[in-house]
Amino acid sequence: MHGVSINTQNRRHADSGIKWRRGGLLAAVVCLMLQTSWARAEVDLSGTYAAVQGEDTQIRTEGPDFADYTGIPLSDEARAAALSYTPSTISEVDRQCVPYKIHYLLQAFWGFRVWATTDPISGKVVAWNYSGTTDRQPTTIWMDGRKPPADTALATPGGFTSGVWKGNTLVATTTHLQDGLLTRNGVPASDKEVVTMFLTRVDNVLTITGVIQDPVFLTAPYVLTNVFSALPNQGFGSAIGASLPATCMPAEEVPSVLNGKVPSYLSPDLNPNLNTVSSLYNIPRESTLGGEQTMYPQHSDQIQSKYRPPAAYCTVSCCGAAMGLGNLGYAKQVLQCK
């Protein structure tokens, strides 16, 4: 009996404790409800991504053909500079890294990783980061509202990037970019370039729309897209490029080629590749040399009478598909098309 009495007393104490705790919990819930607001969520971009887009496969892999500027709204000055370009240029140590500015993210098949930097006190996201890949610099997208550096601040290969959310799209704007190349076949990009990227993740697909503005070398915004697939259940190595070193390291690779000379074609007419695309694909030179007009549909009507599809079966860059997924090897895909 004694034991029962103690148990009863204990139960009473326990019951009263439970009631007190219930009451406290209820009060806390009510208090929180009164303090609660609802908002539209930002998207967690964290993860490892593989490039999967099927467009521009040749440009993203082997690289663009020589003197192929189709669909690029380049200015006359940019075209002249591009035609003076020779691939030997990147044998110069100080120019080896120039093709790989931030917009290379839109023009390559490399995957990448995204992670957040959070404030240790508030837990808020201070910055989103995405990895560089072999040649392209890593990028930090500052989300804390900090102002960009002064216009006179040092321009760098990575530039300065700030971001804001518009719904489920992260809008990232990059300024202070060092001059370099817009494309790997020599179209130049100036240090006045501004790159705006719209990053939208829906389910496991991340679509990036990039708008490149350059008042020096472009006559209109140059808009490119790239699509990536998140790989939540696979390791870093599953996306090609997502785990590669992230810095372009200049090195004297073939010193005998240059022998102290600065490689370039002094006149565009001296460029032996001027007609490469025309001879390979029958595309008229007025198209291959690019310009704003070549990216609009009516241009296809304008060249219709001058174009005939090549009669011969394709021999150059015929196959190859999106190769960003490590489990779909490039060689395997090319072989399957043969």
Partner 1 sequence: MNGKAQALFDPSGDWVALVTQDWRYRMVVPGPGQYSGIPLNLAAKQFADNWKAADYTAAGKACAAYGAPALMMAPTRLRISWQDDNTLRVETDAGQQTRLLHFRDPAPGAASLQGDSKAQWLAPPLVMNFGGGGGPSAAPAPKYGVLRVSTNNLQAGLLRKNGVPYSDKTILQEDWMLNSLPGAGEYLTISAIIKDPEYLRADYYVAPVFVRESDASKWQPAPCTLTAAR
Binding mask 179-208 for partner 1 (x = CB under 8 A): -----------------x-x-x-x--x-x-
| Member of 115, 126, 299, 330 binding partner 1 (CB under 8 A) | 299
C-alpha to C-alpha distance for 162 and 77, rounded to whole angstroms: 30
Token pair recorded at residue 114: 């995204």
Which residues in the 147-176 window bind partner 1 by CB under 8 A? 166-169, 171
Token pair recorded at residue 123: 């837990």
Closest C-alpha among 254, 107, 110, 253 to residue 187: 107
Closest separation in Å from C-beta 7 to partner 1 = 41
Quick check: 256 binds partner 1 (CB under 8 A)?
no
Q: Which is nearer to partner 1, 59 or 248 (CB)?
A: 59
- φ, ψ (nearest 5 deg) of residue 2: -55, -45
Are the CB atoms for 127 and 119 separated by under 8 Å?
Answer: no
In DSSP notation, 277-291 reads HHHHH---HHHHT--
| Member of 23, 24, 54, 245 binding partner 1 (CB under 8 A) | 54
| Member of 92, 281, 286, 330 binding partner 1 (CB under 8 A) | 281
Which residues in the 13-52 window bind partner 1 by CB under 8 A? 32, 34-43, 52
Quick check: 333 binds partner 1 (CB under 8 A)?
yes
Closest separation in Å from C-beta 202 to partner 1 = 5
- How many residues touch partner 1 (CB under 8 A)? 75
C-alpha to C-alpha distance for 216 and 189, rounded to whole angstroms: 8
Kindly indicate which of the ranges 20-28, 235-243, 252-260, 315-323 contains the residues binding partner 1, using the contact rule CB under 8 A: 315-323
Which residues in the 207-226 window bind partner 1 by CB under 8 A? 207, 209, 211, 213, 221-226
Q: Which is nearer to partner 1, 71 or 263 (CB)?
A: 71
Which residues in the 76-105 window bind partner 1 by CB under 8 A? none
Q: Which is nearer to partner 1, 258 or 321 (CB)?
A: 321
Q: What angle do CA 244, 69, 154 make, to 5 degrees?
A: 55
Quick check: 310 binds partner 1 (CB under 8 A)?
yes
Closest separation in Å from C-beta 118 to partner 1 = 16
Helix (H) or strand (E) holding 210: strand 205-213
Token pair recorded at residue 328: 């779909």
C-alpha to C-alpha distance for 239 and 227, rounded to whole angstroms: 13
Closest separation in Å from C-beta 119 to partner 1 = 16
| Member of 25, 93, 164, 303 binding partner 1 (CB under 8 A) | 303
Are the CB atoms for 164 and 171 separated by under 8 Å?
Answer: yes
Q: Which is nearer to partner 1, 1 or 312 (CB)?
A: 312
Helix (H) or strand (E) holding 11: helix 2-35
Closest separation in Å from C-beta 64 to partner 1 = 10
| Member of 145, 232, 260, 297 binding partner 1 (CB under 8 A) | 297
Are the CB atoms for 264 and 86 separated by under 8 Å?
Answer: yes
Residue 78's CB is within 10 A of a number of other CB atoms, namely 25
| Member of 53, 75, 129, 140 binding partner 1 (CB under 8 A) | 53
Closest C-alpha among 226, 217, 224 to residue 291: 217
